[in-house]
A = this chain, B = another copy of it.
C-alpha cells in the first residue's frame, strides 16, 4: 500500500508522518501532496482569526466538538506564530484539547513557523490539502496571532471568522477596522464580560461603514473574480455578529448554523469555487516565488553573490542596485537567441 493509499484509507499514523513531511517540505512530502491533490477540494475550510486574548482556541475546540456531534470528521490546524524561534508549538495548544483526545474523528495539528512566514503559509496550505484529501469534512484553521501574515493565512478559507472580545483595550479597536473586512462572520466571544454591548455597537457601526457588498479577488494586480455577480438581483452576504461564551458553549450551535448558512450562500452564488481558485492561484504564486529564488541560487555563483553583498555592506551599492546587477543576465537569459548575454557578468 502506498503512502497515498494509506492516507486515503484513514491510517492516522501514516497521516501524522505525512504531515511532518509536508510541514518540512521534504521531497517525499511533496510527492505525496502531488498525488493526494486530486482527492482534495471537498472540505469546508474555516479560518478563525482575531487578536490574542479573545479565546480563539477554546472557541475552535467547542466548534470541533459541535461538528463531531454531527458526525463530521474535523481537523484543526493551529497556526502558531509565537514559536518561530524555538520550532516547538505552544504547550497550551496541545493540552487544551483534552475534550477531543481519543476521538478518532478529530485530528489536531499545531504549525510553528520556522524562519519565514512565507514558509509557514506554504506548509499550512499543504497540511490543509492533506486533511482535505484524507476525508476531513471540516478543517478549522486557527491563527494565534493578529498580524498581517496570519490574516493572509486565514482569509482564503471558505468562511472566515473574526473573533473579538469585550474590553481588550484601544489597540484592539484599531485592529478591528482592517480585520473586519475579511470577516464572513463576526464572533463576540466572552460575551458574559462587561462591555459586550459596547463591543457589539462598535462592530455594528463599523459594519455599516464598511459592508463590502462583494469580495473581489486580486491576482497579479487584476481582479480575478468576485464572490457574486454584480447585478441588482445578486444576493449579498452581510457578516452576522454572533455572541458566544466558549467556556460553557453558549452560542456555539448558533455559530455553527451561521457557518453552515455561509457555506450555502457561497455554493449558491459561485463564491465557493471563486474562493477555491483564489486560494490555489495564491498558493501557486507562493511556490513559484520560492522556486525562482532557489533556481537563481543554483545558477548564480556564491562568490559573485557574496562580492555584491559586500559592496552593499560598504554602502557602495544600494540593495536595489545590487539586485539589478545580480539579475541582469538572468532577465535576458532564456530569451537570448544565441545564448550570449553581452551585458551579463563573466562567470
Which residues in A have some Cβ–Cβ distance to B below 8 Å?
30, 33-34, 37-38, 40-41, 51-57, 80-86, 90, 92-93, 113, 115-118, 120, 125, 143-152, 168-179, 181-182, 218, 220, 276-277, 280-281, 283-285, 287-293, 295-299, 309, 312-313, 315-324, 326-327, 329-331, 333-339, 341, 344
- Check if A178 sits within 8 Å of B146, measured CB to CB: no
For A93, give the chain B residue with the smallest CB separation: B174
Beyond known contacts A37-B318, A92-B174, A333-B334: 16 more, CB 8 A cutoff: A38-B315, A84-B148, A84-B151, A85-B181, A117-B147, A120-B148, A144-B171, A145-B175, A168-B168, A280-B312, A284-B309, A288-B293, A292-B296, A299-B335, A334-B341, A338-B338
Q: In the bound complex, what is the Cα–Cα distance between A269 and B185 (angstroms)?
A: 52
Number of copies: 2
User: Which of chain B's residues have a CB closer than 8 A to the CB of A57?
Assistant: 171
CB-nearest residue of chain B to A40: B315
> Closest CB-CB distance, A211 to chain B, in whole Å?
13
Considering only CB atoms, which chain B residue lies closest to A118 in the complex?
A: B118
A174 and B292 contacting across the interface, CB-CB below 8 Å: no
Whether the Cβ atoms of A182 and B37 lie closer than 8 Å is no
Closest to A330 in B: B334
Question: How many Å lie between the Cα of A318 and that of B22 in the bound state?
Answer: 14
CB distance from A269 to the nearest CB of B (A): 18
List B contacts of A331 (CB < 8 A). Answer: 295, 298-299
User: Could you tell me the distance in whole angstroms from the C-beta of A288 to the nearest C-beta in chain B?
Assistant: 5
- Note all chain B residues with C-beta closer than 8 A to A116: 152
29 of the cross-chain contacts (CB-CB < 8 Å) are A34-B318, A37-B319, A38-B315, A38-B318, A40-B315, A52-B146, A53-B53, A53-B170, A54-B171, A81-B147, A81-B178, A82-B179, A85-B181, A86-B177, A92-B174, A117-B148, A146-B146, A220-B297, A277-B313, A280-B312, A285-B293, A287-B319, A288-B296, A288-B327, A292-B292, A295-B330, A295-B331, A329-B334, A333-B333
